[in-house]
Amino acid sequence: MKAYLDIVKNILENGEKKTDRTGTGTMSIAGTIFQHDMKNGFPLLTTKKIPFRLVASELEFFIKGITDKKWLQDRNNHIWDEWCTPLKIPYAHDEETKKKMLEERDLGTIYGWEWRHFGAQYKDYKTDYTGEGVDQLKRMVEMLKTKPDSRQMLVLAWNPMDIDKAVPPYCHYAFQVTVINNRLNLFWNQRSVDVALGLPFNIASYATLLHLLALETGLEEGILTGFLADTHIYLNHIEGLKEQLARDPNKYKLPQIKTNNFKSIFDWQYTDSEIINYESYPRIPFEIAV
């Protein structure tokens, strides 16, 4: 997608060097916008291969409000392996702490838990939080069905009471939907944007969420927009992104998404959705900054 590659190019040309939490170092810009109309296809990058299975299983994990990373590992998804809640292991960079974080399965008050239980008191990943806190996602679905013209359909992950209970704390911290001319549009807000590794996943994840909410409500799929604040490239990702920029974004058409046997977003499993006619350039390896 040209919109993604334009962000990469902008940072490489205009970004400023900046230190960061991980100690890796970044090139950063002060804000940009990603936008894509879903009628033009599903926004899964074609200039490198993106594993939709990982995107979709993480989204199911969020929708269900789960905080046990073993749920992901049991589905061969390891994108949260290096993290855990500071309530169990205080965050640090040394190898001993990293090993403990790897072994701890409790992720704490991450995205989906706040989506489904905002304001509840977090205890641990084993606790049943049914009926506790505000179920923001359920409220959004109900409003879409009963008050589709509302401009109050927001879900927040950023809870100031919980920011010390999850690492990293809510990079994409809120999303909103609107309905215009029977089309469902989704906007997400992101305070910190890892362009090489994170942003392609964020784009595909929120596109899938838009798709599911449209199925839930019978609306058409509209425009996906990301409001991106500190948008950065880690210094050890620059060469890989230069390689990606050299690839022709028009070589492969965007794929389509298809969901089978849909009943409800709350019953959806990641295996219900598939990407149709996805072709891309090969994967580009990027090292995660922890």
State the residue for tokens 């509302």. 150
CA atoms within 13 A on the CB side of 91: 17
What is the average pLDDT across 3-19? 96
pLDDT at site 290: 59
Out of 27, 55, 84, 171, pick the active-site residue: 171
Ordered by where they begin, the domains of the chain are 2-276 (3.30.572.10)
- pLDDT value at 46 more than 80: yes
Contact 120, 132 (CB under 8 A): yes
Per-residue pLDDT tens over the stretch 94-147: 999 999 999 999 999 999 999 999 999 999 999 999 999 999 999 999 999 999
84 tagged catalytic = no
- pLDDT value at 20 more than 90: no
pLDDT at site 1: 80
Per-residue pLDDT tens over the stretch 56-108: 999 999 999 999 999 999 999 999 999 999 999 999 989 999 999 999 999 99
Do the bridges between strand 183-194 and strand 16-18 make them parallel or antiparallel, or are there none, so unpaired? Answer: unpaired
Rg (CA), the chain: 19
Cα–Cα nearest to 118, from 171, 65, 169, 67 = 65
What is the average pLDDT across 13-38? 94
- The CA distances from residue 86 to 76, 243, 255, in Å, are 24, 36, 39
- pLDDT value at 288 more than 90: no
What is the average pLDDT across 239-268? 97
Per-residue pLDDT tens over the stretch 163-197: 999 988 899 999 999 999 999 999 999 999 999 99
Dist CA 168 CA 253 (whole Å): 34
pTM here? Answer: 0.96
Confidence of residue 285 (pLDDT cuts 50, 70, 90): confident
pLDDT at site 252: 97
- Report DSSP letters for 6-65, one per residue: HHHHHHHHH-EEE--TTSS-EEEEEEEEEEEEGGG-----SSS---HHHHHHHHHHHHTT
pLDDT at site 83: 95
Compute φ and ψ for 148, nearest 5 degrees.
-65, -20
State the residue for tokens 């977090």. 122
